[in-house]
Amino acid sequence: MILSVSLLGFALRTIPMGTGYAIWTGIGAAGGTIVGMLFYHESHDWKRILFISLIIIGAVGLKFTTGA
């Protein structure tokens, strides 16, 4: 957790806070869901995979719109 917050602080030196926080929380949510699907046999429903993909695409899109 300390490493995660430290890396967020490092990233906020070059990107806006709103963008950084959105990416941090989005990747955390998507990562947790992916871990659940891979290691804890949670549903691999196509809708779930679609929306996880949209979170990741949105995070990448936010990075491209910051102009950093």
Rounded distance between C-alpha atoms, residue 9 and residue 45, angstroms: 35
More confident residue, 68 or 44: 44
How sure is the predictor about 59, in pLDDT bands with cuts at 50, 70 and 90?
A: confident
What are the tens digits of pLDDT across the range 9-57?
998 998 889 888 988 999 899 999 999 999 999 999 999 999 999 999 9
Rounded distance between C-alpha atoms, residue 9 and residue 6, angstroms: 5
